[in-house]
Structure formats: C-alpha cells, structure tokens
Amino acid sequence: MMIFGSGRLVSYGMTMTQLAEMGLARSVLRPVIDRTELTGGYTWTLEWAPDENSDANADLPSLMTALVEQLGLKLEPARGSVEVLVIDHVEPPTPD
C-alpha cells in the first residue's frame, strides 16, 4: 500500500519496483526503472519539498536529496527504450 501526497510518500510493504514505477515516476514525470535488485516489501516515509522555490518548504530537501538521505537511494539518468501505446484513431461504438 502507498499513500502519495504533495512532497510525501508513505509505504506500507511497497517493493522497490513499485516505488520506481508508481511513486517516483509520478514525481519526476519520467519513467523510472528499479535496478536495486532488492526484493520484498518495505515500510518507510519519504518527505521532500515539492516546490523548491517555496519558503514554506525551506526545511525540507529536494526529492533527489531526500532519496539519498532518507532511503539511501539515488536516481541516475539514463537513456533506454520504453514501451509506448499509440492510438491513432477512435470511433464511438456501434449499437448492436
């Protein structure tokens, strides 16, 4: 289970693959691939400043810093191929 909010991600038994694909990918708006080779579920809380320009979050780190400091994880940019679904035509269903 995962609770996701602005600048906060709480895990109750989440796998690293779930963190990468659902939690982090939503935050960085890019595909994130788990290469940790860690198995099993983990319970933790990750908190970061969702808007680095806001004074209200001055005491919270950026997402990248929070990942390292709070979870010991690091995002590394890389290039690779991803699956994409392209819909080039849509029609309303016909009545039977």
Residue 58 located in a structural domain:
yes
Q: Is 43 part of any domain?
A: yes
The tally of domains found in the chain comes to 1
Judge contact between 86 and 93, C-beta under 8 A.
Answer: no
Within a domain: 57: yes
Tell me whether residue 89 is in a domain: no
Structural domain including 15 reads: 2-71
What pLDDT is stored for residue 26 in this prediction?
84
Average pLDDT over residues 10-34: 89
Rounded Cα gap, residues 43 and 59, in angstroms: 23
Q: pLDDT tens for residues 25-70?
A: 888 888 899 999 999 999 999 999 887 565 566 788 999 999 999 9
Residue of higher predicted confidence among 42 and 80: 42
In a domain, 76, yes or no: no
Is 33 inside a domain boundary? yes
In a domain, 94, yes or no: no
Residue 32 lies in a domain: yes
**pTM for this predicted structure:** 0.71
pLDDT at 55: 59
